[in-house]
Structure 1
């Protein structure tokens, strides 16, 4: 069975790497589902979105919040390069809820609001 080699990284660290059956990313032009054999693409990630990865080993889907960044697809290799990224399993939900409330109270920073909502979605919470 064909798989994708996936790397999700931020400037701080490698967030997740491994083999996957599918990757779903939100671009500035819409949502993109990536499977083995996908045509080469270079895209811009939507700031404050969630990237989902279906591991090849049949494990649980991986969800990660991503800030602005890029992704590339070529030869069944997917690179996700995000300015900011956090695995859903690592999200401190109470901290994310507080960040969302702070952003809503500030009423002028839509980036902080989008990122806080994405952290909650990546953690499987309502935003």
Structure 2
């Protein structure tokens, strides 16, 4: 039997997703990182964007995070973010309207809003 990862995606206010998976892909300032069972321990910074999880059973899971941290240790992956949502929880029209309503100079809010629009569009 193939080794699995124990994955948790958590926001400041809730657990967004958890389960067994074969791979996790997330965005860091240096680019995307893919984690599979047996990966060396790592602690990394995440940028706003998609986190893709391929569960051991079922359909792929896509979440959007506002940034945060990725921790890998002994086949356990923790994605910790201030804000996180599953792709299917995002109202695409509302996300686009939110992005359009933001003023220039609201960089963090714009990055989060753009990440939500991008993930909603990828469904």
Q: TM-score band (shorter)? A: over 0.9
CA separation in 2, counterparts of 1:95 and 1:36?
Answer: 37
Name the count of aligned residue pairs: 121
Show the 5 A alignment for 1:87-98: 87-98=86-97
Q: Decide whether the 8 Å contact of 1:37 with 1:75 is kept in 2.
A: yes
CA separation in 2, counterparts of 1:66 and 1:98?
Answer: 19
CA separation in 2, counterparts of 1:87 and 1:72?
Answer: 19
Would you identify which runs of 4 or more consecutive aligned residues in structure 1 move more than 4 Å? Answer: none
- TM (norm. structure 2) is 0.93
Q: CA deviation at 1:68?
A: 2.3
What SS is found at the alignment partner of 1:7?
A: strand
Q: Deviations over 1:17-50 (max 9, x none)?
A: 000010001012221001111110000111x211
Structure 1 counterpart of 2:50: 50
Structure 2 counterpart of 1:80: 79
Q: 1:107 aligns with which of 82, 104, 108?
A: 104
Q: CA deviation at 1:102?
A: 1.1
- TM (norm. structure 1) is 0.90
Which one is further off, 109-118 or 34-43?
Answer: 109-118
Unaligned runs of 5+ in 1: none
CA separation in 1, counterparts of 2:118 and 2:66?
Answer: 13
Q: Deviations over 1:39-84 (max 9, x none)?
A: 10000111x2111101111x22111110121110011000011011
Q: Does 1:67 align with 2:66?
A: yes
Unaligned runs of 5+ in 2: none
